[in-house]
Copies of this chain bind each other. A is one copy, B any other.
């Protein structure tokens, strides 16, 4: 039974952006040497999220379009009013979406690798960029 902790940093370049982090994640699982167990991908921010879906730039636009239809950037939010004039805090939409999509995914490690489906990729969802963001990886198993 081993616990391997790792992390990496990504720089996002837009207010809203989806970044495929599967390659980072897979290389850390390989480096851990764990062949059977689970992988947890966790981001420690409240205005971002982690999810799983297909890597398709056009689909990424659709995702972000619907996300901001759910919680529009420009809308009267109590959080934004409280912090009126503080530019970095006009981000209630991002908090709300983070609370819905949530900051982590758990993926089985089976037969020596992470058990993603053919089209599944691990996606970092930036909703209040551009920022420097941290992603934690935890691999548990043997």
Contact = CB atoms under 8 A, between A and B. Distances in A.
Interface of A: 1, 3, 5, 36-38, 40, 42-46, 51-54, 56, 58-59, 61-63, 66, 69-71, 77-79, 81-82, 92, 95-96, 98-108, 110, 115-120, 123, 134, 136, 138, 140-142
A42 B115 CA distance: 9
Number of copies: 3
A3 B138 contact: no
A52 to B, nearest CB: 6
Contacts of A136: 108, 110, 115
Given A46-B119, A108-B42, A71 B66 contact: yes
A120 B46 contact: yes
A120 to B, nearest CB: 6
**A interface, by DSSP: helix, strand, loop or mixed?**
mixed
Given A78-B59, A79-B59, A115-B42, A95 B37 contact: no
Contact of A140 (B5, B37, B82): B37
A61 B98 CA distance: 15
Contact of A95 (B59, B71, B107, B108): B59
A42 B114 CA distance: 12
Contacts of A61: 78
